[in-house]
Chains A and B, each alone.
Chain A
Amino acid sequence: MHELAFAEEIFHCVEREARRHNAVKIRRVRLQVGQYSGVDPASLSFCLEAISAGTIMDGAAIEMMESRPEWICSTCGGFPGDSEALSACPNCGGALEYSAATDLRVQEIELDDDDNQT
């Protein structure tokens, strides 16, 4: 549904990093797609491919990992992992909350920078 809007924001984010690092080519973009983000990976791929044609991101490998809902600590923000059985955060004793994996994140970008400039 809103994959094109997400693709545009991802592109802006990548473009900004490319400028910051004097990149000449983007090799890989790794995304984390929340299971409940409402984003369809296939449609997002399609949109990304379409808008990166002829740009610095053209041909970049797009990797998507699905993130699932998990427990997070409401106090320290830690992820106690597989904690169905836990009643409190093992690090700080804070209350655990269920995080619904509704985000879409750009995890990392692999780029080629301009050797001549540095």
Chain B
Amino acid sequence: MTTTIKLEEKVKTKGQEVAEELKIYFRERGIYVINLIGSPGSGKTSLLESLAPDLRGRTAVIEGDLQTDKDKLRIERAGLPAYQLNTLGACHLDAKMIRQAVDEFSLEGAKILFIENVGNLVCPASFVIGEDVKVAVVSVTEGDDKPAKYPTAIRVSSAMVITKMDLLPYTDCHVDQMEADAHAINPQMKIFKTSMKTGEGMKEFLAWIEESAAAK
């Protein structure tokens, strides 16, 4: 006999389950977790280096790259404790890698944890890794069409940091267009226009981080 079973069951991958465990882990320790996503070279590591002096003593960083510990070393030089994950080819970090990192890396005293994801504006957008928020990092030199072309990254991110504003005069990038496209996809998105060279917009971004972390 043919029977129809009604289920309405939500399917969770192992990764999503681990991400939920991590969220609890971070919540119990009062650590606010920011998952930084963006193309290679968009300025994710530079952004963290610029924030380091203000966040020192209460912030830790997990770095994700295919290979090398170059970014970890940069972050340590900037004065923050850092742990390097190497995905050896995988295009994004997953929750299991983060669990491994927090097992080995002391988050003692950290109130804020940044996770710099693998440089990629596509895949990291589809994975939760225990974060409170995702922040998309997009530089003006990538072109103003990127928010429209990579809508998933924009939709899942609470904020977008537009970097390299100091280079704007040398590009055809229309920042207004970037903002309009991003807001069409994600009306609540906070947008910060920044430069690591001039410091533009960094006070505002820092204030947003502090405010969001304090609300946790």
Contact = CB atoms under 8 A, between A and B. Distances in A.
Partners in one complex: yes
Nearest to A103: B10
Contact of A111 (B2, B12, B91, B125): B2
Contacts of B9: 13, 105-106
Interface string B1-44: 11111111111111100000000000000000000000000000
A90 interface: no
Interface residues of B, number: 24
Contact of A38 (B2, B5, B126): B126
B7 A109 contact: yes
Contacts of A109: 4-5, 7
B1 A112 contact: yes
B98 to A, nearest CB: 15
A17 B5 contact: yes
A95 to B, nearest CB: 16
Nearest to B156: A36
Given A27-B2, A112-B1, A115-B1, A9 B7 contact: no
Interface in A1-52: 1-2, 5-6, 8-10, 13, 17, 21, 27, 36, 38
Interface of A: 1-2, 5-6, 8-10, 13, 17, 21, 27, 36, 38, 100, 103-113, 115
Interface of B: 1-15, 91-92, 123, 125-127, 152, 155-156
Given A107-B8, A110-B2, 4 more contacts: A5-B13, A38-B126, A112-B2, A113-B3
